[in-house]
Structure 1
């Protein structure tokens, strides 16, 4: 009669722990900092959010062009991240929104079809949320740094031309083929915008440190220059738009402008699960998903990699920690909810996160201000975007993606470990064909290299009268054949057969296959009149070996004693012969 009461109490304790305030804070990090929120934090978050918002709007418009979508979709994708991340994010600095890499991936998968881009956001978000709930964030560790850098370097080759195929070799061909069609006004304006952006960036980088007791005029001038350089994208786009509007009013249509865009906030509705082709054929949900191909796996992983890498970098810089699985949940829910407001997949932005951090943001609440700026732009400023020259957006894109090309990286890899150039090169070259193939190919090469290290652990063999074989890393089932071959070649096939001390000090775990191979080796050594002794066996490994009850198992914690025992046994055997 008491058993049901016991079960009920255990269930009650489990339910209580799941619904405790501590668990709630783990799932809603806002509860950790909101009770301590202060007026000084509010002031800093307002300034940071406003600054980031002025950076977000022109970049979002430009990245929508990269994705092959109407420019308003960039703004649709830019506001949900700030709202969701405020409640779920564990980094005070990270800003979620459209980025160059995600826009490029989206363009390669959906081919500029808005409906498919929105559906892709929902599916990517679902994959990311599933990874978070299953605590599978460790899978991201299998994408190596050379693969990430190989992809980002190739992504920086965006040219942003209209009606140009996505494959790199075709981009190169059509770029030169269409040069005579380039409009002189667009070329000059693009170069001018690019020069202004570089000038602002140079001014910001050459600002000296702020002095505490300097003249007030110098302090004001420094803040003006710093502020203008920080929102340089917005300033350049506004100036270029005013120039384009003036020329258009005077009857000189010399610039390619954005044109009419949809005004107002997007409708809150689920993404379309089917579509009608131009010839009237209905394309089903399954056919759309099949059309996404490998992009449905690549895009969620790249989004997570980019966002978590940024979060960890700024957490280390500003002395706090982030929860990787909680970050997965935040970005996944952002993409899922974003799909209901016509957003395409987003991730963390390094540039805007840097701006957020440098302007002194104190909590993720700065994202609310950023989102408010984007929403106000959608509600009231869309008619003003009519005159934004596409050349100015192209200049914004170039300045955003150019820093991703790290020319020193190849030299560093060559100097530190040349083999890492292999996955880097595979990713870099294949990304020029199809970006998802580049990531998959690079990850596959990294995986093969990793598996090779597992299957071929370092075995250091030295002669001390008897052979000492030191296993330099872990010992798992792929490595058993390699270990067996080395022992057979160096000891069992020698004339006469030699005894061996197997040093397992670096081995922390063994599996059933390894145990069976060791059982066979012990028998082979016995049949050939030699012995195999295990030295410095870790307690966890020794427990497995003792449980397996290996016949003839001998072990010792002292390496010198093991060598002496084997040497004495060998000497005795020689005398007897």
Structure 2
């Protein structure tokens, strides 16, 4: 029987292959009534959290508040079919909203097109299995970005807490104008905003200190526990509802001390393709110009969205003892953003806060997202008239309490103890993100890349003098290191006290070399030979030896041990050994002295 061909169309369309692309098929046949009850509770609880957060995050993105709701339901439905984590919920988040604010210029047309293009890029990455590219964004860069984002997002909401209008969005101008105009603070907004902050903080602290659910106590005890737990978990919805009732009461009495959200269009968004051009007052902005305007946002937004989703998925998968498939998560994100753009969504990603609520509520499968999505659709269809009375100060309090925990002050102290050099990309990212988000992320990635590549360009080379000079590189050799290697070999060989001198390359730690290194070694051979010196290799590993033999180097000599070198007459006592390239194992290709 011939071996099955992995490229066989029948094999690719097998049930197992389809199940891998549609993870719902792996858990739906086992679905039970007990799971349904828990998923319903989890979905409803997350729905009470996502509606007020969606309204608030649209403000962060610089878009009309209804776009937060438009962005909140498609991910719930798509992830139920394509997601591999039972806890993850997709939707608008603080970080993604901040990125959209930077790259969509507060224009809904740009924001929706950015979602479509980001989804296409994520889909392509998933199909090409490029999830490993996220591994090149280091933890210090992520921490620097999220910490800076928590500060910029929080301070961006101070103007709504104080009731100030016309504050610029650039962070440094924002700080200056807010402090300069603090005397214009509206008392009603400030009092309500601070009260909401206190309430949210208190309810959050109460939830973190709740003991495990009682199982044996009286019914009244269990009911009381459930009431407290629901109040603390749905604190965003409760605080926003209370603030809206207060604002409505003042409206009925004929006065309004608060800045309100205002009228929100009622009804579901139309299902249509995103606009690929925009009609300006005096001209039309073509698709090519819109793509050019978004620039590096087409790389930053998809990557950061994927990074956030996969990081959250891995964290909760580890906590709850299951595994996720990063490439399948890429596909789920891509499909969500592409289809989301058809309903006027801006780019979305996994939400840490709502995922935590989902997990703590006891979600068993991604089916809870269907309930969450349905609640968002009901809100759009029937409840938008009630959103008119939600004070902006209350939404600002929701955002501040959601993003402040993202600031990780301890990371600076931790990196100082663990590896101080990692503070460089952290600080570069952190500081530049206050200027422009994209500059901070790109600069942090570049600095991390330089730190990653520096050991390749300057590998450790141990040099010892015991009558012979022994120089021992501690890693493989690649083209950035050849000049450094050449300078070390020739410089130490020519500076040796005894003459003539032999140079030994002991390749114990060199597992690979490239063509540029081979060419460089040929140059070293010629340069040493002109000065009456010889270059000898010792202990070459198979691949390295094969590469050097294939290059046909003139007067190439190698040994597998010091004893063989002495037998060949090349290692006289008292000679100087100038370079040692490490290699411990005896190579089957190394057959002694080759001249």
TM-score, normalising length from structure 1? 0.92
The DSSP-based 3-state class of the residue aligned with 2:572 is: helix
2:289 to 279, 287, 290: 287
Q: Which range is displaced more, 29-38 or 541-550?
A: 541-550
Q: Which range is displaced more, 137-146 or 389-398?
A: 137-146
Within 2, Cα distance between the matches of 1:263 and 1:143? 41
Match in the other structure for 2:319: 317
Match in the other structure for 2:259: 256
Measured after TM superposition, the shift of residue 43 of structure 1 is 1.9
Match in the other structure for 1:373: 375
Measured after TM superposition, the shift of residue 121 of structure 1 is 0.7
Match in the other structure for 1:421: 423
The DSSP-based 3-state class of the residue aligned with 1:156 is: helix
Measured after TM superposition, the shift of residue 479 of structure 1 is 1.1
Within 1, Cα distance between the matches of 2:101 and 2:567? 68
Tell me if structure 1 keeps the 8 A contact 2:566–2:572: no
Q: CA, structure 1 residues 54+567, in 2 after alignment: closer, same or farther (shift >3 Å)?
A: farther
The DSSP-based 3-state class of the residue aligned with 2:388 is: helix
1:107 to 75, 83, 101: 101
Q: Which range is displaced more, 402-411 or 536-545?
A: 536-545
1:20 has 2:14 as partner: yes
Q: CA, structure 1 residues 375+544, in 2 after alignment: closer, same or farther (shift >3 Å)?
A: same
Could you report, residue by residue, the CA deviation over 1:359-411 in whole angstroms, capped at 9, with x for unpaired residues? 22122222222111111111111111111111110000001110111111111
Unaligned runs of 5+ in 2: 160-164, 577-595
Q: Which range is displaced more, 486-495 or 95-104?
A: 486-495
Tell me if structure 1 keeps the 8 A contact 2:39–2:368: yes
Measured after TM superposition, the shift of residue 48 of structure 1 is 1.4
Q: CA, structure 1 residues 500+211, in 2 after alignment: closer, same or farther (shift >3 Å)?
A: farther
Measured after TM superposition, the shift of residue 549 of structure 1 is 3.9
Match in the other structure for 2:192: 189
Q: CA, structure 1 residues 64+529, in 2 after alignment: closer, same or farther (shift >3 Å)?
A: same
1:396 has 2:398 as partner: yes
Within 2, Cα distance between the matches of 1:400 and 1:485? 55
- Superposition pairs for residues 333-344 of structure 1, below 5 Å? 333-344=335-346
Within 1, Cα distance between the matches of 2:29 and 2:239? 40
The DSSP-based 3-state class of the residue aligned with 2:571 is: helix
1:88 has 2:91 as partner: no
1:547 has 2:522 as partner: no
Match in the other structure for 1:271: 274
Greater helix content: 1
Within 2, Cα distance between the matches of 1:436 and 1:168? 14
Within 2, Cα distance between the matches of 1:85 and 1:124? 17
Match in the other structure for 2:433: 431
Tell me if structure 1 keeps the 8 A contact 2:39–2:364: yes
Q: Which range is displaced more, 443-452 or 530-539?
A: 530-539
Unaligned runs of 5+ in 1: 1-5
Tell me if structure 2 keeps the 8 A contact 1:491–1:497: no
Q: CA, structure 1 residues 433+13, in 2 after alignment: closer, same or farther (shift >3 Å)?
A: closer
TM-score, normalising length from structure 2? 0.89
Q: Which range is displaced more, 201-210 or 102-111?
A: 201-210
Could you report, residue by residue, the CA deviation over 1:419-464 in whole angstroms, capped at 9, with x for unpaired residues? 2121112211211111111111211222222222221122222334
Q: CA, structure 1 residues 202+115, in 2 after alignment: closer, same or farther (shift >3 Å)?
A: same
Equivalent residue pairs, number? 565
Within 2, Cα distance between the matches of 1:564 and 1:90? 62
Q: Which range is displaced more, 542-551 or 135-144?
A: 542-551
Measured after TM superposition, the shift of residue 81 of structure 1 is 0.7
Q: CA, structure 1 residues 538+83, in 2 after alignment: closer, same or farther (shift >3 Å)?
A: farther
Could you report, residue by residue, the CA deviation over 1:134-182 in whole angstroms, capped at 9, with x for unpaired residues? 2222222221111111111111122223532222110111111332332
Q: Which range is displaced more, 176-185 or 11-20?
A: 11-20
Q: Which range is displaced more, 387-396 or 531-540?
A: 531-540
Tell me if structure 2 keeps the 8 A contact 1:533–1:566: no
Q: Which range is displaced more, 516-525 or 162-171?
A: 516-525
Match in the other structure for 2:448: 446
Match in the other structure for 1:329: 331
Within 1, Cα distance between the matches of 2:386 and 2:567? 88
Within 1, Cα distance between the matches of 2:509 and 2:223? 61
Match in the other structure for 2:411: 409
The DSSP-based 3-state class of the residue aligned with 1:470 is: strand
Match in the other structure for 2:171: 168
1:32 has 2:34 as partner: no
2:233 to 185, 207, 230: 230
1:355 to 354, 357, 363: 357
Q: CA, structure 1 residues 12+262, in 2 after alignment: closer, same or farther (shift >3 Å)?
A: same
Q: CA, structure 1 residues 12+316, in 2 after alignment: closer, same or farther (shift >3 Å)?
A: closer
Tell me if structure 1 keeps the 8 A contact 2:501–2:575: no
Tell me if structure 2 keeps the 8 A contact 1:533–1:562: no
Measured after TM superposition, the shift of residue 492 of structure 1 is 4.0
Measured after TM superposition, the shift of residue 98 of structure 1 is 0.3
Measured after TM superposition, the shift of residue 562 of structure 1 is 7.7
The DSSP-based 3-state class of the residue aligned with 1:457 is: coil
Within 1, Cα distance between the matches of 2:56 and 2:120? 26
Could you report, residue by residue, the CA deviation over 1:221-249 in whole angstroms, capped at 9, with x for unpaired residues? 33322222111111111111111111111
Measured after TM superposition, the shift of residue 498 of structure 1 is 4.2
Q: CA, structure 1 residues 498+186, in 2 after alignment: closer, same or farther (shift >3 Å)?
A: farther
Match in the other structure for 1:521: 524
Q: Which range is displaced more, 543-552 or 52-61?
A: 543-552
Q: Which range is displaced more, 86-95 or 182-191?
A: 86-95
Could you report, residue by residue, the CA deviation over 1:513-562 in whole angstroms, capped at 9, with x for unpaired residues? 1122223334445555555444444333333333334444444556x758
Q: CA, structure 1 residues 146+563, in 2 after alignment: closer, same or farther (shift >3 Å)?
A: farther
RMSD: 2.5
1:507 has 2:510 as partner: yes
Within 2, Cα distance between the matches of 1:548 and 1:502? 17
Q: CA, structure 1 residues 382+341, in 2 after alignment: closer, same or farther (shift >3 Å)?
A: same
Tell me if structure 2 keeps the 8 A contact 1:430–1:437: yes
Q: CA, structure 1 residues 48+245, in 2 after alignment: closer, same or farther (shift >3 Å)?
A: same
The DSSP-based 3-state class of the residue aligned with 1:462 is: strand
Within 2, Cα distance between the matches of 1:503 and 1:298? 44
Within 2, Cα distance between the matches of 1:178 and 1:320? 52
Tell me if structure 1 keeps the 8 A contact 2:260–2:392: yes
Tell me if structure 2 keeps the 8 A contact 1:91–1:364: yes
Within 2, Cα distance between the matches of 1:536 and 1:26? 47
Within 1, Cα distance between the matches of 2:319 and 2:502? 54
